[in-house]
Amino acid sequence: MLHSRLNRKNRNEAGGGGGELSSTRDSSFRRREGPPDRRAAGSYSKSRSRRHGGLCSLSLLPRRWEMAEEERSFLTVSGQSITLQRCQHSAACREFQVRCPRLQLRSLSAATCSVWLAAYGLFVLTQNSVVLSAAIFVTLIGLLVYLHFVKIDQESLLIVGSLGIQMTSSYASGKESTAFIEMSQIKDVVINEAIYMQKVIYYLCILLQDPVEPHVVSEVVPLFQSSKPRLDCLVEVYKSCQEILGQKKKS
């Protein structure tokens, strides 16, 4: 009996010690899992602000270094839809891109069918197979010439106040044609009137001054001749050009 009581007492003491040990372990574990130190939190917030400082600093940059893009839809003089994309690289550098209407499959198929029907008619009359081969050859060559020299997908106008105006035409085949006019040769940018298909249309043009007589206009360079946008689209480009030309005259 005495031996069994001593064994129970030892077991209770051992169990109590284990409970104290487990409680100390739990308390240490809770201390480790507790809220971080204020210094650590402060260093974390500083490091976070440093990491995102570059993103926050973009909003503090001067407005002239921001690049703003704007895209709007307009109509051509024939009623087709075009897109004007306005990109402002700086206060004195702006770019305008006009996307022309895409190549219509109906017109392409109609032209191809008309050529092949004419070739088939000649073949029936002459019974010569060379006529059909010539029709296929003419169709392919005509399509390549049309895509490479006639069909323009995009026209862009880049105006830089300190350099000049660059005009770029992108063809359907990937070819690009670029023309540059120095700012010293530009007299003004105006909207002019013209008669096209028995109606009056408006077009944007650059007036070049005579090197001998600066007050005389030596040449008129029309812009956006392939897309032919309406007046509301031309006014948007005209206003931006006048702003940059006005800054040049003030300087």
Residue 153 contacts residue 84 (beta carbons within 8 Å):
no
> What is the per-residue pLDDT for 104?
79
Q: Higher pLDDT residue, 40 or 174?
A: 174
Could you write out the DSSP letters of every residue in 173-193?
Answer: TS-EEEEEEEGGGEEEEEEEE
Residues 153-206 have pLDDT tens digits of 999 999 999 899 999 999 999 999 999 999 999 999 999 999 888 889 999 999
Domain extent listing, the chain: 2-55, 67-103+151-250, 105-148
Residue 229 DSSP one-character state: B
> What is the per-residue pLDDT for 67?
59
Residue 100 contacts residue 153 (beta carbons within 8 Å):
yes
Residue 222 DSSP one-character state: E
CA 160 to chain CA centroid, nearest Å? 18
Q: Higher pLDDT residue, 67 or 71?
A: 71
Using 50, 70 and 90 to split pLDDT, how confident is the model at 84? very high
- Give kind and range of the element (H or E) at residue 115: helix 105-126
Q: CATH number of 67-103+151-250: 2.60.120, 2.30.29, 3.90.70, 1.10.10?
A: 2.30.29
Of 8-22, 79-93, 178-192, minimum mean pLDDT range: 8-22
> What is the per-residue pLDDT for 250?
78
> What is the per-residue pLDDT for 70?
84
Distance CA 152, CA 134 (A): 27
Using 50, 70 and 90 to split pLDDT, how confident is the model at 234? very high
Using 50, 70 and 90 to split pLDDT, how confident is the model at 22? very low
Instruction: Specify which of 16-30, 37-51, 54-68, 235-249 reaches the highest per-range mean pLDDT.
Output: 235-249
Distance CA 125, CA 8 (A): 125
**Which percentage of the chain shows pLDDT scores above 90?**
46
Using 50, 70 and 90 to split pLDDT, how confident is the model at 109? confident
